[in-house]
Structure 1
Amino acid sequence: MRAFLGTDDVEGLIDRPVAEVSRLAGGTKKGVYRVRLGGDSGTVILYRWTAAENYWPSVATAPDDPFDGEAGMAEFEANHAALRGAGVRVPELLELSHDGAFALVEDAGSESLERLMERDPVAAAAPLTELGAALRRMHADVTGHYGPLTRPAGPQRPAEDMVVDRALRHLAAAAEQDTRLAAARERIADRLHRLRAAVTPRREFALVHGELGPDHVLVNEAGEPVLIDFEGLVRFDAEWDHAWTAMRFEADYPRLEPPPLDPARLDLYTYAQVLSLIEGPLRIAATDFPDRQWMLDLAEWNIAKVLRQ
């Protein structure tokens, strides 16, 4: 049984009177808790990075894979500073404890952009417009190397080659668990290589959230979009972000006013991400993750997608 935090535990961590603690659903690598402080002092959000909060089993990765590295407190601290420096709204950092492996941030509310888009598309228009502007600011901040902000720059192979190798690892792992993918494995690999062959060289790497869907954006009382779950922020091709946001925002994606993109690079990254959305859910579904069926359904959705393509 996993040990999550209770009121006494949190009060011992943050050294403040605590009236109530609620663990919020959705986290797979960290624990997220809403903490109601004593004395009518409002609420804050506590992030906690420990093995007990991380459901992901470790797997072998390539040394230059920027997406499968650590996603803990050091990454949170560096990425928080980088996003603020780019003029992107993130929760205000109130306290950071490396000893206790936790961060205390402002409570930006419980209204996600995803729920607002479903409930009131008109009210979601302004946050969508500002989110698109925030993405453009992130993607305008470019350097000549890719990777996590906490990893020193060094010699690197082309980003698109790294993505193909990563996708082939995901395909191999998923094919071991699904006979349909095993039967189609060669054709899927051929398609990956054809998509790679169409990509022309480029070395301009932006700040990329990596998993920016409407569920990773809160809308606060002022109507501002607030980015969360950004430990996976890396420097990479802007098309990586847009491949993800196009999938997650679907019909609302044009409302983000995306800039001109490299269509060949976008096609490759979209296909690679579909494969990652098979391997990852199948891997975490084999653990004690509480919503196992949701992960299996997500994998099945993407298996059908990759086989259609």
Structure 2
Amino acid sequence: MTRAFVQPDDLRHLVADQFGGDRRIVALDRLTGGSKKGVYRLRLDDLTQVIVYVWAAGENYWPPSLTVPDDPFTDASGADLFAANHAALAAVDVRIPRLLMLDRDRRYLDADVALLEDAGAVTLEALLARDPAAAAGPLATLGGALRRMHTTLCAKYGKLTAIERGEAAQRRRTEDVIVDRALSQLRAAAVRDPRLADAHDQIAGHVRRLRDAVRERRAYGLVHGELGPDHVLVTPDGEPVMIDIEGLTYFDVEWEHAWLRMRFRDAYPLLRPVDLDPHRLELYRYAQVLSLIEGPLRIADTDFPNRQWMLDLAEWNTTKALAALRHADYPR
């Protein structure tokens, strides 16, 4: 598809309404990394600097995929989700960019738009690479925020908007949702990679054995969904600021920690995690490996600008998925 991104002139009415008619746009930079929405840094002639979110079809690189109907992590994008999730995180004192304006009436663009505080360009990922000692404080603060989220419990799982509307019917157990999700992603990835096609039955059997060790649960914490150090900005005062929050969901906290362990690596213990079910954690870790094969292979078939990075990510996780079969302690 031909993608037409936002240009400075497209925001002139927004700027006039929000900052005054005498303000002028100095720069509008589309930030890299976003694949579902457009993220722009807007700079004005009085040194005001804000972030603009744009939820438009042309900003979303993800092609459709087969989904599990009750998978709460499907289609985690949109202004409605952002608004509900922003309020929920603020309610448990999680530092997020301050929301300055949210337009869901499409007054300025043929898209939903949000204006947010610009919390800076330094990610926790960059700080960890550059100065691990300086990252210790933000990591500890982030760990506290995560504990508040993960001990905020709900008797239902699902997107916050679905729960608020009474649409989060609990038809089955969370681990069964994840198993179906993992097996669906395995089938899709096997079409693209003959190694996965050859190992399909072994991988599926491994997933099911991991699921069999998991005990039932009926209380769910507030989880970000895919929180890595690249989804945390660090202000000049050392505050960690959580971003990309549309995937916020009530779900098993092990899903979050499987992701955190993978993304934070050696820094993960500094987050001081809550107690976890090791069997549930292991199932979710392996399911996420399969997700990080299928998703990158799917988006690599599009015009996503960093295609090779996605292919490398899929290859790395294919190696992990196959290695797990060799190291499993049951006969194959």
Q: Give the structure 2 partner of residue 153 of structure 1.
A: 168
Deviation track 1:234-273 (CA, whole Å, cap 9, x = no partner) reads 1100000000000000111111111220000000000000
Q: Give the structure 1 partner of residue 10 of structure 2.
A: 9
List aligned pairs for 1:43-62, cutoff 5 A: 43-62=49-68
Q: Give the whole-Å Cα distance in 1 for the aligned partners of 2:274 and 2:161.
A: 28
Q: Give the whole-Å Cα distance in 1 for the aligned partners of 2:144 and 2:129.
A: 21
List aligned pairs for 1:1-309, cutoff 5 A: 1-15=2-16, 16=19, 17=23, 18-40=25-47, 42-100=48-106, 101-151=112-162, 152-309=167-324
Aligned residues: 308
> Shift of residue 38 of structure 1?
2.4
Identity rate, percent: 58
Give the match's secondary structure for 1:125.
helix
TM-score (norm 1): 0.98
Deviation track 1:106-136 (CA, whole Å, cap 9, x = no partner) reads 0000000000011111110100000111000
> Shift of residue 8 of structure 1?
0.7
Q: Give the whole-Å Cα distance in 1 for the aligned partners of 2:86 and 2:226.
A: 15
| 8 A Cα contact 2:7 2:28, kept in partner | yes
Higher Cα Rg, which structure: 2
TM-score (norm 2): 0.91
Deviation track 1:126-183 (CA, whole Å, cap 9, x = no partner) reads 0000011100000010111111011133232000000000000000000000000000
> Shift of residue 192 of structure 1?
0.3
Matched to 1:62, the amino acid is V
| 8 A Cα contact 1:173 1:279, kept in partner | yes
Give the match's secondary structure for 2:153.
coil
Q: Which runs of 5+ in 1 are unaligned?
A: none
| 8 A Cα contact 1:145 1:156, kept in partner | no
> Shift of residue 87 of structure 1?
0.8
CA RMSD of aligned residues (A): 1.0
